[in-house]
Structure formats: C-alpha cells, structure tokens
Amino acid sequence: MALWRARRKLLACAAVVLGSSVRSVTFCGDPARRRPQLRRAPCLQAAEKGEDPPSWEELEALLPSSAVEEPLVIDSVLQPEKPQLEGLTFFRERNGWCPYSERVWLALEAKGLKYQTVLVDNYGSRPSWISGQTPQVRWADGRMQGESLDIIRALDSQFPGSPQLWPDEEVTKLVDAFKTIFPKQTRPSSRAAYLYSWNGPIFRSQFEETLSSTDELLGRHGGPFFFGPQISAADCAWAPFLERYAAQLPCLQTDLRPYDVNRWPRLAAWCDAMQQVPSYSCRVRGDEVSWRKVLAQAGYGNDGVVSSTVEDGSSKGSEAGMESVWAAYARDRPYVAVTPQVEAAARLLRNRAALSKDAVKRGVSEAEVDHGLRGVAALLAGLCNSAVLEGSPAVAAVAAYLDDRMCVPRDMGLLPSEAIRSLARRLST
C-alpha cells in the first residue's frame, strides 16, 4: 500500500475515457417496466471461502443494468471514422473540462431529451469531420449549431413539449449578468476559469465581490434557483463556473468557500437545490478532487503553480441523503443501476477491458488487476463477504488506482465516483 499512497499525488487526468461506452440504444415500451432488477444473490461461495471474487460472468448476472444498452457515445479519438449520425447529436469536449459543454449537457439532461454524444478532443488531434468549438449540436436535419446559450435557447423551440428553460426574457438578464459579475479580464481557461488574470493571480476581494453579487442576484426571484423555484437556462449557464469556483477557490485563498452559508446564504441554498436536480448531481456535475487536479496542470491557471493554500484534495462526500435523487435519476434510465454504489460496480464491469490495460500501465501488476477489479466491483455492489475482499492487497491496489485515475464527470457521475473514492479511503487505512 505504501507504493500506492506514494502515487497518490496530483496527477493529470489523461485521455483514456474510463467511462465511455460505445453502444447504440433503442428505446421502446415503458422504461419502468423494462428496468432490470438487481438480483439479491446469496454471497458467492468461492468468495466466501476467500478464494476469488465473483467472475465477470457472475457479476454480469448480478448487475443486470450493465447489460442494457446506453445512449450512444462516440469517442472521436477512439473511433475517428465518420459515423452515420441520426437524430439529435451533442458534441462535447471529451475530458469533461469545457464549461460551455457542461451548460448544454445539463440543459439536455434537465429537459429529459434523447440524444447521442460525440466526444471531441480539444487538446490533441481531431478527425477531419469535426471542426469548430465545443459545444455544438447536430439537429436531426443535419444542421450544425454552436454557442452554448444559443443551443439552449434553440432546444426550447425545437422541443416545445420538454421543460422550458428559457420561458421569459428575464432569464436573459440573469444569464447576461454572468458577464458583469464574474471577474473581468480573467482567463476563461476551461481548467481554471475566471481565476487568473493574464498576468497572474487576482485579489481575494475580487472573488468576494463576485460571490456577493451572485448571492444578491439569486435573491432577485426569491431562489433557490436563479429564476425562482424552477431550474432555468440561467442555472445551466452559471452552474459550471460556480461548481469550479467551489472546488478551486479554497485552493487559492484560505477559507474562501462560495457555499459558506453564513456569508452567502443564497449561494448555499442554490447549491443545495442543484444537488436535488437528479441529472446534475448524478451525472453532469464534476467533483472537487477532479477540479483540483486540473487546476494543478502545467500550463494552465497559474502556470501550473498552485498557491500553498491548496488543500489535501480529499472529497467531503455528498452521498448521504441522496437516495431519492438517485432513484429519480435511475427511474427512466434502465441502463442506470439502482444505487450509485451498484452503478460504480456496473461501470467497472462495462469498461473492464480498458481499465485492466490502463491499470497495468499505471503500476497495478498483471497478476492482481483482474482479481482486484472484480473484487472492487463486488464490494461496491455489496455482493460478497467484505472481510475477505477488504483484506486483499489486489483489491486495495485497484481501488487506489481508480481513486487516483478517475476524472469526474468524464468517467462517471459524482455519486458513483464517491462510492469508489470512499471505498479506496477505507481500504487504504
């Protein structure tokens, strides 16, 4: 374990998309009736005897959501040939870093639309059939459209039966206020958005002013969301930036926390309300650990030099009390497991081939990797004798690898990722 603890320094999120799945899906019938149930199997005998975690075949049988096809996600780096695209297609940045992509992703999810995704590399090479910035959408008639806010507005008119996110021109004022409230002349870099001027750090007072003005704006319609009791395009527009600020500001300024209920109570209430938006907290939202890692990447933000107030990066965890939010998220999505813990196990199962390869490249031994992955999946899903598996060095090594390597929301949603992070913490003590 000492080796793994030593490796748990800030590492860049690299390009392997642990969570991507390239499958197509056809929706028919009533999703609620099609939801596969997690089988309540007795603990598997071999594992009980401490011999081995369940096999992949056994895990597949025990985690039925993992066999349900997910909405199509095409990673244009791994699949560079031009696909035949049909229906609504969302082009987003593949690491999950682009805040403008996040705006549109949240809008698509909040509206409950069916769409497929193309992941785009903004930092390396792209196939010739992809050009321009992220995000973009391809409408069913083949037209391409860019600019996050224009896309969100157009989604309302293209899908009038879906929840309307831009119901009133007042929403435009709330969206536009972002430009005047967030610090001016700061770099809009996706990994360190609005944190640094072009010459270096900005003053603490500028951040405080921004947070106070945001708090005031949230009071205009009575909260908890920007336009009152319902989520709107304003929340989609602001969320990616407030989310990054919440994780990254405490790294740069001692004890500067945007969701400090005593200083900015409306911001804290907004954060709580957003946490109750299933598609946001279950899939779209990034986690603190990931935002802190990207802040430390060379060449971004403060030229890769992060101020000495950086915290240890340990996640505070937000799983508690989120059962009903997860249930609401999973209800209409048969490919999503019944709990975040089981979903994390199912993600490992779906992506085991890529994960095994990547884990070995990063120091997990060939002999341990398969056993470790199956063991982590079994522990997450609560399928096996935990005392046996929790004592296995291979399981601990794989849990530590996942904790270190995971980038959220690139690889999975916040809640499943927290299940993995808390397991890794437990096994490392």
Ligand X SMILES: N[C@@H](CCC(=O)N[C@@H](CS)C(=O)NCC(=O)O)C(=O)O
Residues that bind ligand X (CB under 6 A): 93, 98, 100, 122, 133-135, 147-148, 190
Residue pair 260/268 in contact (Cβ under 8 Å)? The answer is yes
Calpha distance 306→296 (Å, rounded): 6
Beta carbon nearer to ligand X, 97 or 207? 97
Least distance in angstroms from the C-beta of 356 to ligand X = 31
Least distance in angstroms from the C-beta of 280 to ligand X = 18
Least distance in angstroms from the C-beta of 147 to ligand X = 5
Q: Which token pair is 103?
A: 């705006």
Calpha distance 11→7 (Å, rounded): 9
CA separation (Å) from 267 to 194, 213, 290? 18, 10, 22
Stated as kind and residue range, the H or E segment containing 116 is: strand 116-120
Phi, psi of 146 (to 5 degrees): -115, -170
Least distance in angstroms from the C-beta of 230 to ligand X = 23
Least distance in angstroms from the C-beta of 231 to ligand X = 19
Beta carbon nearer to ligand X, 100 or 196? 100
Residue pair 191/13 in contact (Cβ under 8 Å)? The answer is no
Least distance in angstroms from the C-beta of 104 to ligand X = 8
Beta carbon nearer to ligand X, 66 or 134? 134
Q: What is the DSSP letter of 281?
A: I
Beta carbon nearer to ligand X, 134 or 214? 134
HSE (side-chain half, CA atoms, 13 Å) at 11: 18
Alpha helix positions (H), 336-413: 340-350, 352-361, 366-380, 386-390, 393-405
Beta carbon nearer to ligand X, 93 or 287? 93
DSSP, residue by residue, 95-132: TS--HHHHHHHHHHHHTT---EEEEE-SSS---TT--S
Beta carbon nearer to ligand X, 293 or 371? 293
Q: Which token pair is 119?
A: 């992941």
Least distance in angstroms from the C-beta of 171 to ligand X = 16
Q: How many residues does the chain have?
A: 429
Beta carbon nearer to ligand X, 103 or 347? 103
Phi, psi of 144 (to 5 degrees): -100, 145
Calpha distance 13→175 (Å, rounded): 30
Least distance in angstroms from the C-beta of 60 to ligand X = 37
Beta carbon nearer to ligand X, 122 or 212? 122
